[in-house]
Chain A
Amino acid sequence: MPPTDAASEAPLLRMRGIRKSFPGVKALKGVDLSLHTGEVLALLGENGAGKSTLIKILGGAHQPDEGTIEIDGQPASVATPQASQAAGIGIIYQEFNLIPHLSARENIFLGQEPGSISFIPRASEEARAQALFDRIGVEVPVDAECNSLTVAQQQIVEIAKTLSQDARIIVMDEPSAALSPRETKGLFRVIDELKSQDIGIIYISHRLDEIFEIADRVTFLRDGEHIDTRPVDDLTREQMIELMVGRSLDKEFPKRDTAPGQPRLVVENLNSGERVQDVSLEIRAGEVLGLTGLVGAGRTETARLLFGADRPDSGSLQLDGQSLAINNPRDAIRQGICLLTEDRKAQGLVLGQTVRENFGLPNLRHFTSGGFIRQNEEAQAFAGYVNQIQIKVTGPEQVAGTLSGGNQQKVVLAKWLQRNAEVIIFDEPTRGIDVGAKYEIYQLINQLAEQGKAVLIISSELPEILGMTDRIIVMNEGRITGEITEVPSATQEDVMRLATSQAKGEGTGFRG
C-alpha cells in the first residue's frame, strides 16, 4: 500500500489527457492515469481498449497527439525508447526482448557496455547481476544462455534489466500469460519485493483473480477512454467485468444442456519420449473434456500427437470405431480432427495474409472447382461467420496481423468451424482474450458439444476448466495422474493435487 502521505505529494507518474489517433482509429481519447511509489496499478480493459497504445506511449514507442506526462510532478519527455528508459521507465512486453544466445548477464547489460571498443568488465557485471537477482530475491544462473532458461527465469532477467537501468516505474504486460500457477506465485513475490523498494508497477492482465491478489488500484479503459479508477478492495469480480465490458455478463461460463453419448475419439497408450507416456483417453459425443496440468505436463504435446503435428512413438487412435492413421496435420484434418493452437500468432494464422485467405487455408478443397478458388464463395462463407461469431473485421480483405487477439482467435475458430470437424481440440482457447470475447467463445464451444462433436479443452486456467468441462483429465510429467468425473463438485485444489501428484500405475491412472 502506498504511504498515506504519498497521496498529498505529486504521484510518481501522472499521465493526463493522452490522445492518440492512428489512421482511421482513435486509439486513445483523453486518458488519465496516475501511479504512486510502492503501488501496483492494474490496467484493465478489453482487447482494443487502448492499453497497449498507452503503454507504448509510456515506453517511447509512440508519440501522443495530445496530453502530458509528469514524473515526480515534473514534466517528463518520453519521446524515444531511450528517453523513456532514462526517465526511469522499464517496460516488460509480452514478447520478451532477450537475445537467445547471450547469457542472462549479457542480456541485462546489453546496451550499457562501457564503450564500443573497450573490454567488458565481466567480473563487475557478474557482481552487479548477482546483486540485482539478490535484490529481486530470485536466483537465476548468471551465465546461462537465455534460451536455456525457463519463461519465468527469462522474465526475471527482463525485470533485472529494467532495474539495472534504474527503473522506478515498471510496466508488465500480461506477465503471467506464459507462467504456470506456481511460477505466477513466484512473480507475485517479486512484485511485492519491488513494491517494498518504492517501485511503482503497472500490471496488465486479463486474469481477474490475479488483480485481486496483487493490485492496489485498478484503472479501467474502454474504447480508448478512461472509465474509472478504483481501489481494488472496493470492487467485486462482477463489477470489474461490468466496468471492463460496459455491460454485465450474467455468468462467466454459459450453461450447456447436453448429456455425453457414445465414445467418439478413443486414444490408447500414446507415447512420445518423456513428454507423453502411456496416455489413454476417450471423448464422447457431445462431451467437453478438459485436459489440464502444470505447464510442461504434456498437455499440448498430447494434443499435437492427436493432430499429427508431431509423430508419436506408439499408440493408436480411433474415431467412431474406425482406427485412424495420422502422419501429419493434413491427415488429421481430412479425418475430422482439428486443433486450435495455443499460440495463434506463431501457429494459428499467417499474419501477413488476409482473414479470408487464412479462413480458406484448410478449406480450399471445399472452395475450389477445376483447380480455381471461388473467392466470392469463400468471402461469403467467411462473412457468415463474421455475423455468427461476431468477428470485428473491416472486411474479408483485412490483414490478419492487424486484428486484436480475440478477433484473431475467432478467425482461427471460423476456419475450423467451416471445416465441420468431428473432434475439436482447443489449446488455451481464451489466452490473452478479453472477458466479452471469452464468453462468446465459450458459447461456441457449447454449440459444438450440442451438435454431438467431441471437444477437448486444454487450459491452465482452472476456473475455465472447472466451469466449462464435463470431465477433467489431469496430467503431470507426461502421464495422466487422475480424472475428475464430478466436475460441479470439484475444486481448484482437487485439480492442483492431481497436477502435482505422481502417476499411479499404468494407463489412465486412478479415478479421482
Chain B
Amino acid sequence: MKKLNYTKLLFDYGTLFVLALLCAWFSYVTIEEQSPTSPAAAERLANRVGGQLPTGASVVVLTRQGGEGRSFANALAEQLAKAGVTVASTTVGQPVDARKALTDFAATGAELAGIIADKHMASFANTNLGALGQAHSTLAKAKIYQPTSYRWPNFLKRDNLLNVMKQISVVAIIAIGMTLVIITAGIDLSVGSLIAFSGVITALAIQSLGGDSPTTGHLWLGAMVGILACGLAGLFTGSLVTLFGIPAFIATLGIMFIAKGLAFIISDSAPVPVANEAFGWLGRGRDFFGLPNSVVLMLILFAIAHVVMTRTSIGRYIYAVGGNPEAARLSGVPVKWVLVFVYTLTGLLAGLGGVMEASLHITGDPKSGDLVELKVIAAVVVGGTSLAGGQGRILGTLIGAFIIAVINNGMNLTGVESHMQKVIYGAVILIAVLVDRLKIHLLKLKKA
C-alpha cells in the first residue's frame, strides 16, 4: 500500500517537484552579493545614519544612474531629513558627478559628516576619499554609509520572478484552452496564428473606430472585436471537427495557415500601431499590489478554469468526452456541443493572448505569435495532460507553463546561448512525455 501512495504522490505532484528542483537549481547558480535599493532599505539606512550622526550633521547622497538609483536617492534624502540629518546635496550619476558633488560641498567650507551611497558609489568613495580628504580637509572625517549587503540569488529577486510570470502569461492563458482541447483528445495548432490575427484585427479596429485619437472605449471595443474574431475561428474549427469529422490536427492546421495569411493581408504586412498609450495597460501595467496586470489576469483565469474543470458539469463532460466519447454520448452528454465549446474557448483565449501581445508593444504585429502554439502544447504536456485524452489538470498546465518559463529565464540568467536553449527546451518536452508514458505503464500494472 505504501508503494502505491508514493506512485500516487509522484503522479499528482511530480511536475511541482520538477518545478521546485528547477527553481532551487537556478537559485543556487545565480547567488550573488546583493545591495538593496528599495524604499525600505533606504529607510533602514537613513535610520542607521540618524542614530550615529549628531542631529543637523551634513551629509551628501550619492547613487549610480540607472536601475533604482533615482528612487533610492530620493527615498534616502527624504528619510535622512526625517532622521534629523541635513542633506547638503543629492547626486544621481557617474563617478565624475560624485567627485564634483564632493568638491562642490568642500567649496562651501562646511564639515562633511557622512556620505550616504549605494553599493557602487560607496565603492567609489572608499577608493577616492583618501585623496579627496587630503585636498579638502572638510571631507576627511566623512563616514561612508551604504546599505547592508547580503547574498541572494538573482533568480529569486522579486522583479525577476514577476518577469518570469509576465513572460509566460500569454502562453499560459492560451494553454488553459489547449488543456481542455487536449483532454478531449484533440489538438489546436492555430493558436499561434490567432495571436497575430487578433492583434492585427484589434489594432485595425481601434484605428477605424477612433482614428488618430482613440478613446479608452475604442480600445476596449477593438480588443473585443479581436477576441471575438478568434472565437469565431475556434467555432469554425469546432464545427469542422464535429460536423464533418475532420481530425482536429488537420482542421487547425488549415486555420493556422489561413489566420496567419489573413493577418498579413489585412495589415499590408506591416505592424499596425495603436495611437493611445493607454492600450498598454494590459501588457505593461502593474495595478494590483505591484503585480503585472497580465499576471493577475492569468491567475484569475486559471482559478476560474480550475473550478470549472473540477466542480461543474461542463468540466465533467469534457473529461468524459476525452475518456470515452461513445460512453459519454450514451450517458446523455452533448458530445458535439462540448467539442465546439472547447475549440471556441481556445479561440477566444488565443484572441485574448493576441490582445495582450499587442498591448505589450502597443502595436498589432502580423509577425507575432510564431511557434507559440508549440510552446502552448509543450506547457500542457509538460503539465501532465495526456495527449491520449481524458486526463489532465488545469493547475498542472499552470505548473507546466511555469516550468517552461523558469527554464527560459534561468538559462538567460546563466548566459546559456540561445541555440543551446532550444536543445534543452526540446529535451525537457521529451522527458515530460516519457514520464507520461511511464505513468500509463504504471497504471496498467496497477490495474492487472
A: residues with CB less than 8 A from B are 22-24, 53, 56, 61-62, 307, 309, 328-330, 332-334, 339, 341, 346-353, 357, 360-362, 364-365, 368, 371-373, 375, 401-402, 415
Give bound CA distance, A334 to B332, whole Å.
8
Is the Cβ of A361 less than 8 Å from the Cβ of B332? yes
Q: A329-B331, A373-B311 are in contact. List 4 more A-B contacts (CB 8 A).
A: A349-B327, A351-B323, A361-B316, A372-B311
Give bound CA distance, A372 to B316, whole Å.
11
Is the Cβ of A23 less than 8 Å from the Cβ of B4? yes
Q: Provided the pairs A56-B448, A375-B311 are in contact, do residues A350 and B327 lie with their beta carbons within 8 angstroms?
A: yes
Residue from A53, A307, A352 in contact with B323 in the complex, judged by beta carbons closer than 8 Å: A352
User: 15 A-B Cβ contacts within 8 A?
Assistant: A22-B446, A62-B448, A328-B334, A329-B329, A330-B333, A350-B319, A350-B328, A352-B390, A357-B316, A360-B316, A361-B316, A361-B331, A361-B332, A364-B316, A372-B311
Is the Cβ of B447 less than 8 Å from the Cβ of A23? no
Chain A residues with CB below 8 A from B316, complex form: 357, 360-361, 364, 373
Chain A residue with the shortest CB-CB distance to B333: A361
- Of residues 393 to 448 in B, which have CB atoms within 8 Å of A's CB atoms? 446-448
* Most A C-beta atoms less than 10 A away, residue of B319, B329, B331: B331
Residue from B312, B324, B334 in contact with A373 in the complex, judged by beta carbons closer than 8 Å: B312
Residue from B312, B331, B333 in contact with A368 in the complex, judged by beta carbons closer than 8 Å: B312
Chain A residues with CB below 8 A from B333, complex form: 330, 361
Give bound CA distance, A365 to B448, whole Å.
35
Chain B residues with CB below 8 A from A309, complex form: 329-330
Chain A residue with the shortest CB-CB distance to B444: A401
Is the Cβ of B312 less than 8 Å from the Cβ of A371? yes
Give bound CA distance, A332 to B4, whole Å.
41
Is the Cβ of A368 less than 8 Å from the Cβ of B313? yes
Give bound CA distance, A57 to B103, whole Å.
92
Chain B residues with CB below 8 A from A365, complex form: 313
B: residues with CB less than 8 A from A are 1, 3-4, 311-313, 316-317, 319-320, 323-324, 326-334, 390-391, 446-448
Is the Cβ of B327 less than 8 Å from the Cβ of A347? yes
Residue from B320, B329, B334 in contact with A353 in the complex, judged by beta carbons closer than 8 Å: B320
Is the Cβ of B330 less than 8 Å from the Cβ of A402? no
Q: For the complex formed, measure the closest distance between the CB of A58 and the CB atoms of chain B, giving whole angstroms.
A: 14
B-side interface mostly? helix
Q: Provided the pairs A352-B391, A361-B331, A362-B332 are in contact, do residues A23 and B313 lie with their beta carbons within 8 angstroms?
A: no
Chain B residues with CB below 8 A from A24, complex form: 1, 4
Residue from A330, A350, A351, A401 in contact with B334 in the complex, judged by beta carbons closer than 8 Å: A330
Chain A residues with CB below 8 A from B4, complex form: 23-24
Is the Cβ of A353 less than 8 Å from the Cβ of B323? yes
Give bound CA distance, A231 to B323, whole Å.
45
Is the Cβ of A348 less than 8 Å from the Cβ of B320? no
Chain A residue with the shortest CB-CB distance to B386: A352
Is the Cβ of B390 less than 8 Å from the Cβ of A353? yes
Chain B residues with CB below 8 A from A375, complex form: 311
Q: For the complex formed, measure the closest distance between the CB of B209 and the CB atoms of chain A, giving whole angstroms.
A: 35
Residue from A23, A53, A346, A362 in contact with B331 in the complex, judged by beta carbons closer than 8 Å: A362
Is the Cβ of B329 less than 8 Å from the Cβ of A346? no
Chain A residue with the shortest CB-CB distance to B391: A352
Is the Cβ of B327 less than 8 Å from the Cβ of A339? no
Residue from A329, A353, A360 in contact with B330 in the complex, judged by beta carbons closer than 8 Å: A329
Chain A residues with CB below 8 A from B311, complex form: 372-373, 375
Give bound CA distance, A401 to B323, whole Å.
11
Chain B residue with the shortest CB-CB distance to A309: B330
Residue from B319, B327, B448 in contact with A346 in the complex, judged by beta carbons closer than 8 Å: B327
Q: For the complex formed, measure the closest distance between the CB of A407 and the CB atoms of chain B, giving whole angstroms.
A: 13
Chain B residues with CB below 8 A from A368, complex form: 312-313
Q: For the complex formed, measure the closest distance between the CB of B325 and the CB atoms of chain A, giving whole angstroms.
A: 9
Chain B residues with CB below 8 A from A350, complex form: 319-320, 323-324, 327-328, 390
Is the Cβ of A330 less than 8 Å from the Cβ of B447? no
Is the Cβ of A401 less than 8 Å from the Cβ of B329? no
Is the Cβ of A372 less than 8 Å from the Cβ of B312? yes
Give bound CA distance, A7 to B343, whole Å.
67
Is the Cβ of B312 less than 8 Å from the Cβ of A339? no
Is the Cβ of B313 less than 8 Å from the Cβ of A373? yes
Please provide the 3 A-B residue pairs with the shortest distance between their CB atoms, ordered closest to farther: A350-B323, A333-B332, A361-B331
Is the Cβ of A347 less than 8 Å from the Cβ of B448? no
Chain A residues with CB below 8 A from B319, complex form: 350, 353, 357
Q: For the complex formed, measure the closest distance between the CB of B12 and the CB atoms of chain A, giving whole angstroms.
A: 13
Give bound CA distance, A346 to B312, whole Å.
25
Give bound CA distance, A62 to B324, whole Å.
27
Is the Cβ of B330 less than 8 Å from the Cβ of A307? yes
Q: Provided the pairs A353-B390, A360-B316, A361-B332 are in contact, do residues A348 and B448 lie with their beta carbons within 8 angstroms?
A: no
Q: For the complex formed, measure the closest distance between the CB of B362 and the CB atoms of chain A, giving whole angstroms.
A: 37
Is the Cβ of B327 less than 8 Å from the Cβ of A348? yes
Give bound CA distance, A361 to B1, whole Å.
30
Q: For the complex formed, measure the closest distance between the CB of A491 and the CB atoms of chain B, giving whole angstroms.
A: 35
Chain B residues with CB below 8 A from A352, complex form: 323-324, 390-391
Q: For the complex formed, measure the closest distance between the CB of B315 and the CB atoms of chain A, giving whole angstroms.
A: 8
Q: Provided the pairs A347-B327, A350-B319 are in contact, do residues A329 and B312 lie with their beta carbons within 8 angstroms?
A: no
Is the Cβ of A23 less than 8 Å from the Cβ of B326? no
Chain B residue with the shortest CB-CB distance to A373: B311
Q: For the complex formed, measure the closest distance between the CB of A16 and the CB atoms of chain B, giving whole angstroms.
A: 22
* Most B C-beta atoms less than 10 A away, residue of A330, A334, A357, A368: A330
Chain B residues with CB below 8 A from A360, complex form: 316
Q: For the complex formed, measure the closest distance between the CB of B328 and the CB atoms of chain A, giving whole angstroms.
A: 6
Chain B residues with CB below 8 A from A353, complex form: 319-320, 323, 390
Chain B residues with CB below 8 A from A332, complex form: 332
Give bound CA distance, A11 to B322, whole Å.
49
Is the Cβ of A23 less than 8 Å from the Cβ of B329? no
Give bound CA distance, A18 to B155, whole Å.
57
Q: Provided the pairs A22-B448, A23-B446, A334-B332 are in contact, do residues A351 and B313 lie with their beta carbons within 8 angstroms?
A: no
Give bound CA distance, A368 to B308, whole Å.
12
Q: For the complex formed, measure the closest distance between the CB of B8 and the CB atoms of chain A, giving whole angstroms.
A: 11
Is the Cβ of A402 less than 8 Å from the Cβ of B447? yes
Give bound CA distance, A214 to B330, whole Å.
37
Is the Cβ of B330 less than 8 Å from the Cβ of A371? no
Is the Cβ of A402 less than 8 Å from the Cβ of B446? yes
Q: For the complex formed, measure the closest distance between the CB of B441 and the CB atoms of chain A, giving whole angstroms.
A: 13
Chain B residues with CB below 8 A from A62, complex form: 448
Chain A residues with CB below 8 A from B329, complex form: 309, 328-329
Give bound CA distance, A180 to B146, whole Å.
92
Q: For the complex formed, measure the closest distance between the CB of A189 and the CB atoms of chain B, giving whole angstroms.
A: 34
Chain A residues with CB below 8 A from B446, complex form: 22-23, 402
Residue from B312, B326, B328, B447 in contact with A401 in the complex, judged by beta carbons closer than 8 Å: B447
Is the Cβ of A347 less than 8 Å from the Cβ of B330? yes
Give bound CA distance, A340 to B108, whole Å.
98
* Most B C-beta atoms less than 10 A away, residue of A349, A350, A353: A350
Chain B residues with CB below 8 A from A361, complex form: 316, 320, 328, 331-333
Give bound CA distance, A402 to B4, whole Å.
14
Is the Cβ of B324 less than 8 Å from the Cβ of A349? yes
Give bound CA distance, A415 to B330, whole Å.
12
Give bound CA distance, A56 to B445, whole Å.
12
Is the Cβ of B332 less than 8 Å from the Cβ of A346? no
Chain A residues with CB below 8 A from B323, complex form: 350-353
Chain B residue with the shortest CB-CB distance to A349: B327
Q: For the complex formed, measure the closest distance between the CB of B49 and the CB atoms of chain A, giving whole angstroms.
A: 58
Q: For the complex formed, measure the closest distance between the CB of B206 and the CB atoms of chain A, giving whole angstroms.
A: 34
Q: For the complex formed, measure the closest distance between the CB of B335 and the CB atoms of chain A, giving whole angstroms.
A: 9
Q: For the complex formed, measure the closest distance between the CB of B198 and the CB atoms of chain A, giving whole angstroms.
A: 28
